Amino acid sequence: MIILPITLVVGEKTLPTYAMTDTSAEGKGFIDRSWAESHELPLQKLKHSFGIVTFDGDLSESGAVTHYVEATMRIEDHTEVIRLNVTQLAHYPVILGMP
């Protein structure tokens, strides 16, 4: 696990924050629902919702992922457009999954 300072740009908003990298997140990115809503980020509906399987093999209590946020993410001099699936996270506003 590595914690990275990142900046998310969504529309006119530029939001510095932190992201945790997670090898068990199957290469997907996630954003905390409360954090996204508190910053009034536009949530876009997924065509197909999906459940999150926790480290112990159970389905997450936060329920199915039904929305995402599309953002431009900056880490130092690297920039890319990223889709972050919206769910309830515990400690960091963003999780970056690593395959």
The better pLDDT of the pair 51, 99 is held by 51
CB-count burial class (<10 Å; 0-12, 13-18, 19+) for 46 = middle
**Fold of domain 3-97:** Cathepsin D, subunit A; domain 1 (2.40.70)
Mean pLDDT confidence for 86-92: 92
pLDDT of residue 56: 62
pLDDT of residue 24: 66
Give the pLDDT confidence of 22-70 residue by residue, as tens digits.
Answer: 876 567 899 999 999 999 999 999 999 887 766 666 666 777 899 999 9
Any idea where the domains of the chain sit in the sequence?
A: 3-97
Q: Find out whether 94 and 6 touch, Cβ atoms under 8 Å.
A: yes
